[in-house]
Homo-oligomer: A and B are copies of this chain.
Amino acid sequence: MLRRDTIFKGAMLLPLVVLCGYFLLLVGSQSAFFSMTDFLEQIGQKDIRSAIALSLIAATASTVIAVIIAIPAAYALARIDFPGKRLVDTFIDLPMVLTPIALGTLILMSWNTSIGRLLSDIGITLPFTFAGIILAQFTVVVAISVRMLKATFEQVDPRQEQVARLLGCSAFESFLHVTLPLARRGILAAIILTWARAIGEFGATVMVAGTARGQTATLPSSIYLAMSMADLPRAVTLVVILIGISLLVLFGVRMVPESRG
């Protein structure tokens, strides 16, 4: 009797099933080329290990900087009214729709302006350095971080902050003792997803810092190098590591402990 309903549900579920199947096929396709001995051998090599270390350190550093700037910026967008807010709110999304390749190019170009030359003169150089990687990743991920944190702060009931004010808190105390604790779950999720985006960043990083093996080659750059040299065992190893990190991130975010609120 419910047949029409069942057909409709089936028709809507089918694309989802196909999509999941396709993703499973993708994730599984490396298994044809994967061997544990290759993997362990590759992992043992110095330049792979330095790529892993470089990626972890750079992603963590750029995430920390991005979140430190994004928390107040997102709070300001969520709560404070100021003239031109709509414009700022739109413009801040630019790095999310502009290809990282273009962002990387713009970073390099900005380094050739007077500000960049000034920094170069005092010894801070970006192109093809570790600092360059961090700046590239930061530039790509900070907007995502602002966007996620804004959504998080918007979910905190402003009433809670207001009640805190009336119980004697200054605006800053209320932010510290009420807003941040209530937003901690969203902040943690934003940190994890920002970090995932940073560790996978390729376009801007490769433009700014290049792909010098053992120096500025992050995990994605190393895959690119390996594939361009048809070094399949290395590419498979790196891809498996990144899949592992991605799955950890995906399921990690879902398991961020529910806050009591």
Which A residues have a C-beta under 8 Å from some C-beta of B? 4-5, 8-9, 11-16, 18-20, 22-23, 25-27, 29-30, 32-33, 69-70, 72-73, 75-77, 80, 82, 86, 88, 90-95, 97-103, 105-110, 112-113, 115, 139, 142, 146, 170-172, 175, 193, 196-197, 199-203, 206-207, 219-220, 223-224, 227, 235-236, 238-239, 242-243, 246-247, 249-251, 254
Given contacts A20-B88, A98-B200, 18 further A-B contacts (CB under 8 A): A4-B171, A5-B170, A12-B73, A13-B82, A16-B73, A16-B77, A23-B92, A26-B107, A29-B112, A30-B105, A93-B250, A97-B200, A99-B223, A100-B200, A101-B200, A101-B202, A102-B238, A207-B227
- Evaluate whether A92 and B12 lie within 8 angstroms (CB atoms) in the complex, with A105-B227, A106-B30, A220-B99 already known: no
The residue in chain B whose Cβ has the minimal distance to the Cβ of A30 is B109
Q: What are 12 A-to-B residue pairs whose CB atoms are below 8 Å?
A: A5-B170, A9-B171, A13-B82, A15-B69, A18-B69, A19-B142, A23-B95, A30-B109, A90-B251, A90-B254, A99-B200, A101-B223
Query: Quick one: closest B residue to A226, CB to CB?
Result: B105
In the assembled complex, the Cα of A54 lies from the Cα of B5 at a distance in Å of 42
Contacts of A242 in B (CB 8 A): 98-99, 102
The residues of B that contact A238 with a CB separation of less than 8 Å are: 102
Cα–Cα distance between A107 and B28 once the two chains are bound (Å): 11
Partner of A106, one of B26, B88, B139, B175: B26
Please give, as numbers and ranges, the residues of chain B lying within 8 Å of A170 by CB-CB distance.
Answer: 4-5, 8
A241: nearest chain-B partner, CB-CB: B102
A172's partner among B8, B22, B69 (CB-CB below 8 A) is: B8
CA distance A112 to B97 in the complex (A): 32
Most chain B beta carbons < 10 A, residue from A8, A15, A250: A15
CB nearest neighbor in B for A29:
B110
Residues of B contacting A18 with CB < 8 Å?
A: 69
Tell me whether B97 and A196 are in contact (CB under 8 A).
Answer: yes
A201 to B102, CA, bound (A): 11
**A202 and B200 contacting across the interface, CB-CB below 8 Å:** no
Complex formed: what's the CA distance from A4 to B171 in Å?
8
